[in-house]
Structure 1
Amino acid sequence: MSQLKQILDELHGISKQVILLAESDASDILDEIVEMIRLFGEKIQSNGICTPEHVLQLQAIKQENKQLFANVIYDNLQLLITEYESLLAMENQNQIVFPFRYHENEMALVKQHENNHYFVNETIMEFEKLQARISEDTEAIILLGYGSGMFHAELLKQYHVLTIDPLSLPADVKNDTVLSFNDSKDASKTLLQSKFQSFIGLKTEVIKHPLYEDTQSLLELLKLVRNYLSESRIDLTTRKVYTESWYQESFQNASYLKENLDRIITIDSLKHQYKGSHALMIAGGPSLEDAIPYLQQAQHAYYIIAIGQTVKVLFDHEIRPDFVISIDAGEANAHFFQDIELDMPLVYSLQVNHQIPKRANGLLIPYADAQLTQDLLTFSKTVFSTYPTVALAAVAFANYLDFDSIGLIGQDLALREGEYYSASVKEVSSTDGQFNKTLYDIPLNNG
């Protein structure tokens, strides 16, 4: 039995005896209980009997009303019991951070595993060392590791601050500027990126708490935070450029759908419909060239999901996709669909360039990826997250249909001889050359 459990059992036993002791006028024993509560309360700040002054005030109550005296003792015992129950619950967790004060020092117990824990002692001297490493032009700080909270509080006086601890924090510590990553792993990306929006435009440093050990979980969080912060910056820049066109395209596409209700397939109805089948997602990377002969022979063994810019190439080689997917709002994206007979189902974000659904002759499978498009697509409950590339959106769509396997073709993870796109895709995507340089000549793009 742990020490906390022993204390808790003793407190429960004493609590049951308090009323009986009051009735038997055992004031000496009750005084001993008051002193015990003070000692425990002094350490964990859990009740109203924490100082010698509190004890003196309670003695005055005792002289006037012994029953009230006993009731106050009983109530404070219940507070103490509640506190130790929460401590016991935390003791049984594998990963916690427990801040506390000890002799005017701000400290924290960091418990990583059952038998692995250490104390963090945050002092002004340690804070000054941390501050000396921060650039003078820094405006915002993301601190990884809460500790006792002293570093966090001091940084808040000078910077825009978000503190994230890789382990679990007590509920009374967490707030808008203090997050416990361990409690929100499932929704970590959405949560962190929403928090990082307020850091965009500020000179931001990501700092590891200097008194935290370099555990794998902390280093992984450090890498994750830096990646998410970078993605948030890219996302905000994208929104600045495209938000207006996203709204315009969404409304035009919604209007077109009302005129073509007989051609719509709801994406909801396709969920899990392809269990037992296999799919290939066709992207436009350089390796697509090598895969064309294989696709010509094997196309009937798979369902082919092609992103928009590959459709002309596939058609030219007599390869017919089963689904075509497109997401971009730009006019350059519409150019990929010029001069082709698109009679297979078109899967598209409602924010796509409105010319693309209008040029399609087949079934339409629109989906929502933002609040606006959810409101406009009232007949569909399915929402895909916004994906940075159409290839990822295609894979998400294939996964939603529940194919047993999803092969990736032309989804190259690095440049091939300095090229980002297949030569065929570059050639057929523009009939007049007006988009070729804009789309493909990307300086300093090293993959």
Structure 2
Amino acid sequence: MQRQAAYRNCMMLLALLGTAATGFTAPAFAQADTAPLSDVKFDVTAEYNSNVARSDAARAAARGLSRSDQRITPGLTVDLARNLGQTRVWLNGSAGYDFYRRNSQLNRERIGLEGGIKQPIGPCRVDITAGISRRQSDLGDIAFVNNSPSFAVKNAETRQEYQGDITCGREYGLRPTGDVGYVIARNSNLIRDRAEYDELEYQGGLSYSTPNFGDLTAYAGRRDIDLLNQPTAGGGEVSYHITTIGARYRRDIGSRLDAQFSIGRSAIRGGGALVPNNSGLTWDVEVTAQFGPRLQVTASTGRQFVNSLSSDAAYLRTQPNLVQLTYAVNDRMRLQASYLNERRSYRYATPQVGTFIDRETRQLGGGGFTYDFGRRWQIGLSGGYERRNANGTFFDYDGAFARATLSLSL
């Protein structure tokens, strides 16, 4: 099958990069990340949510759910890195388990782990990463199915990601770049298998960097997406690709301002009548500013074509806008506040019947603080409010949450 061949090719390339990384040791760049890291934390989070079901009371009851609930999540967070000669190996992420007081059917592991190696090879540097994430699906995206709404509730989303990057040349000046990646996205619930997909991505570019100018990269890339279980007349897979040509730029302006952005033109092709051709501008912008010694403000916006395990759509067009503020009251206490406004539109490969999401706007605002008790203990308190307006009223909801976290550095 096409996706199996693509997967084999991607794995072969990553294996070749890894073999080369163990056979050559010539330095290419002055490594900034040379210090070892050993940050391991055990934490317990308690949360109250007024609308775990992400729906009104009647639809929550039909799903066999209580709207309000309390959740306890013990977990472990790691951030580890070591240098083995000129090779740097690292691992970061977290793993925990959600325990709900009322909705025990939502009890589920919550995993997000990523690790990799960085290795100079002659005039180049190779980065190889692998990661996995697994969690319970957002209930706001799961609709009634075949008059068995409760059957659709339990679903674990799992994503495996593999990535290989290479950059050649000196630290400053012109540098060619390339990367290849593969994503395997699966759902545990049989009635959610139409959202499963495989994705192969490859990209090449040319970067120019100087201390005063910053870093500018022109790139061209392609993503091949296979929707594995979409119903079609011929019984085959739904496949299409997204090509993007663009540029990205990053500049640190002293210690007070960091700006990075990318802009390109993306075109969706190859899906035939099931996934009609589409194109448009895509971008990501993020600016972080430091106001005095205590206040930091980050603002970001973007527009992208993405895939999701929570929907049967062939792809989504997302436009998130985020503002975050952090204020250091003193060396131990920090205040945080944030606001997110995200618009999404859904494009389906097959005609939809019944209830489905066509478009939505989500708003999420909140704030809190963290306090360090010495070098090992930390407590955090936060809360917020979320509201979604989707097409019609079926997927509309709002809810509030409050959260407390106690962390111990091991």
Fold conserved between structures, TM > 0.5: no
Structure with greater proportional helix content: 1
- Name the larger-Rg structure: 1
Question: TM-score, normalising length from structure 1?
Answer: 0.17
